[in-house]
Amino acid sequence: MTVTDKIRSAAQVDSWIQTERGAGRKIGFTCGAFDVMHAGHADYLALAKARCDRLLVAVNSDESIRRYKNPLRPLNPWNERAFVVAALEATDCVTVLEEDRPLALIQRWKPDVYIKGGDYAPSALRSSSAVAAYGGESIVIASAFPAASTTALFERIQALALHEAPLVAHPSHATGLVLIDRDGTLVKDASFDPGQVELLRGVAESLKRLQDAGYLLCIVSNQQGIGLGYFGYRDFIDGNRKLLRLLGKEGIAIRKIYFCPHSLGEPCDCRKPAPGLILKALRDLNAAPENAFVIGDSIEDMEAASAAGCSGLYVGPDHPRYTAITFSEAAETILKAPKTRS
């Protein structure tokens, strides 16, 4: 059966009802304008179908909508609205409702179940007494999308239409790229509880100087705790939200956050000392390695920087291979570095 085969005239519905009843099937009936189909409609019709074997939907004619809703409605003509309703798996038969109320059709076909969407009692349905008179049942179904409505969609569309699209931003001419490790470099190590996230000394002032000098700022971080199950993506993101708020108060913008969620037991190309995250940042931001710097507190940070062709600045504890400097000194080194034309 095609979609259009589901759309029937009142006389054709007479025959359809007779056939379905003869097969012992329970008939459900509902109606509505369905001017702009939304999630509330789809959910309500699916729930309605669950209460019967066959669902008959009467779609208000254009004239009836103009009478009881608005002389400027409907937005879509009846044949299009009926087609959309018929295309749903939940509907078995679609017909036209010429009157403002469905009472005449209910009395004509005597559906086993009269179904409407809403949050009022079945007794409040004006046609429920007629349904009860022939032994039928009236049901009101509350959708899981109570805020969805055609009127709300129209209001949203009208609001959107008032807004002009923004002008295209001018391409940024960044001086270079600074990739910063997170834990132990920007914030106290393993700070995932938003209440415990705290910027380390000198970080905010140094990042502001770098940003003002034209450098793009990104975070590049190993997060094997995700892979080990110590915390989840949401915990990591919530902690980063706190970090971004702290930096935002200082006028500092982080362009992107790159992270590796894999544990040591999960081979990957992104976990530092592998250069995958840094190489991706260079590609994403069209940056040359010679104009990119990595600030980190671990050997892995420095090895990843070297593998990607970037300069590494070590701000960790004393180590025989690297001379430790402060974050402020790292920023000063970057600011004094000669710039290479990309």
Omega prior to 273 cis, within 30 of 0: yes
Residue 54, phi-psi category: left (phi > 0), alpha (psi -120 to 50), beta (remainder)? beta
Q: For the chain, which ranges sit under pLDDT 50?
A: none
**CA-atom Rg of the chain in angstroms:** 32
pLDDT at 137: 93
Domain boundaries, the chain: 4-161, 176-336
pLDDT at 157: 83
> What is the distance between the alpha carbons of residues 283 and 286, in angstroms, rounded to a whole number?
5
pLDDT at 341: 57
Structural fold of domain 176-336: Rossmann fold (3.40.50)
pLDDT at 194: 63
> What is the distance between the alpha carbons of residues 256 and 182, in angstroms, rounded to a whole number?
12
Vertex 171 angle, CA 246 and 240, to 5°: 20
Q: What is the pTM of this model?
A: 0.54
DSSP string, 2-50: -TGGGB--HHHHHHHHHHHHHTTPPEEEEEE--SS--HHHHHHHHHHHT
pLDDT at 51: 95
pLDDT at 190: 59
Domains 4-161 and 176-336 share a fold: yes
Q: Which residue has the tokens 């270079």?
A: 176
Residue 134 and residue 108 in contact, taking contact as beta carbons nearer than 8 Å: no
pLDDT at 165: 73
Q: Which CATH architecture has domain 4-161?
A: 3-Layer(aba) Sandwich (3.40)
Polymer length of the chain: 342
Strand, helix or coil at 145? coil
